[in-house]
Structure 1
């Protein structure tokens, strides 16, 4: 199975930080966001990855490419641990890049990868969200896909006041944490939302989704919405993710995620706690 990672957006909510660099390359603690996504794909058994990019995204390619000068410098300095880290990034997966020439929405970005999918099921992993759980989120979806032989998407319950930020589903729970989806609505008003089960940026899709995207007219924001195309599929299931999803789509959530990940590092945890206490006590 291949994975498609859409990473062509402008990242306007992070300006001016994203004026000349992709939001997917913003660091979360000690790694760029998109590296966590690719590590999840690999942990899920996927090492053939298509990243859909746009203008000003060259640093993504550079990050996963071999860096002869850097490796030579680290080797000469005897920094073997750093050298292993750098080489591990290059060896993570086989990655190719496809350009989305115009910003037409998430559905269109995925459609750009059609020629590379070869009429096979594939995963979609949004490049600005990170997941953490006992079993990788995408692996959980692959298991659902294998069991029901239908497209599967990751779900998470969100507070009612936040449903307007997400695609929301209506469905019937067919077994614990798995829903047969009847309806999908992109960013509904709170009083119109059919539930508080939100689509959280991970999908395993059958290749007929490309035909459904092709049939989909521009929707919310004048863009081709993936949610609208998903609603045209004959069958689709949702899996409530056993774990936590980090939406790195706004500054506060990005900052909170960085702090939380830093707290997982024994070398940083105690100093970070002390620093935060000093800030709070100084208020």
Structure 2
């Protein structure tokens, strides 16, 4: 029986962000704003809402600005305080107040499985989440909170999944799962980026993993997989066979901010959630649509 509290979140963000060149040459893709805050802030906020207070960034050595964003800035603090902008100050300081940040480095781009393995010492012998910052999921309760609720019942490793069009399965890790409730299935197999005709289903893993420490030695065993990388999905398959694993079809709207269209869509969607700008944004969309 698993009884310990889960507190650790691993956020791999070492990639070059080539789909966002030339901007990503100097600004990490994860720091590009969705309305008025970096996309990675939404990920950290989701982790914090789920009670995860130990944030482990997996970075390349030229992406230290990501950690710097979440660190204290006394000069800015004084500036905001002197001008009475305390709501902005509180928003910035909540991370230092409630989270502990740690960085580990992935010196070579050897895949998601390798990125998670790089955090092995920081993870220790504890259960942990993995959040992929390209996937924003908008819902209350959050995807991570939904997974924690299901974990209380099933007490096993879990991935978040959603149905995708069959022609898109080649872009995802895909699971086949035997349904055991309305939203949860027992995973039977996992395949990384299969061809359509080889996909076991159209249930794609979407950027949220709840994993036991036993995944780490399994990742050390898998070797090079699809795309010449160490794939997390290969470790997940071993985990599913050895200890069992569950797939949760989450509730919420998912935005793939790792591509340009998804990034624009997320900006529009999150802007429309702001009452102070909703009308103006709708007017802009209408004007642009009629003038093209």
> Residues of 1 paired with 2:171 and 2:248: CA distance?
19
**Contact 2:174/2:190 (8 A) holds in 1:** yes
1:190 Cα shift? Answer: 1.3
**Contact 1:9/1:103 (8 A) holds in 2:** yes
**Contact 1:40/1:138 (8 A) holds in 2:** yes
Residue 266 (structure 1) aligns with? 275
**Contact 1:121/1:205 (8 A) holds in 2:** yes
> Residues of 2 paired with 1:19 and 1:121: CA distance?
35
Cα distance per residue 1:236-256 (max 9 Å; x no partner): 110000112222110010111
1:39 Cα shift? Answer: 0.5
**Contact 1:39/1:92 (8 A) holds in 2:** no
> Residues of 1 paired with 2:135 and 2:98: CA distance?
19
> Residues of 1 paired with 2:63 and 2:218: CA distance?
28
Cα distance per residue 1:257-281 (max 9 Å; x no partner): 1100000001111011111111122
TM-score by length of 1: 0.96
Residue 239 (structure 1) aligns with? 248
* 1:108 maps to 2:114: yes
**Contact 1:48/1:94 (8 A) holds in 2:** yes
Runs of 4+ in structure 1 deviating by more than 3 angstroms, as ranges, are none
1:92 Cα shift? Answer: 4.3
* 1:282 maps to 2:291: yes
Runs of 5+ consecutive residues of structure 1 not aligned to the other structure: none
**Contact 1:33/1:129 (8 A) holds in 2:** no
**Contact 1:129/1:201 (8 A) holds in 2:** yes
Secondary structure, aligned partner of 2:102 = strand
**Contact 2:186/2:245 (8 A) holds in 1:** yes
Runs of 5+ consecutive residues of structure 2 not aligned to the other structure: 1-5
**Contact 2:255/2:265 (8 A) holds in 1:** no
Cα distance per residue 1:57-116 (max 9 Å; x no partner): 111111100011111112222323322222234334111111111111100100111111
Q: Describe how 1:200-219 pairs up with structure 2 within 5 A.
A: 200-219=206-225
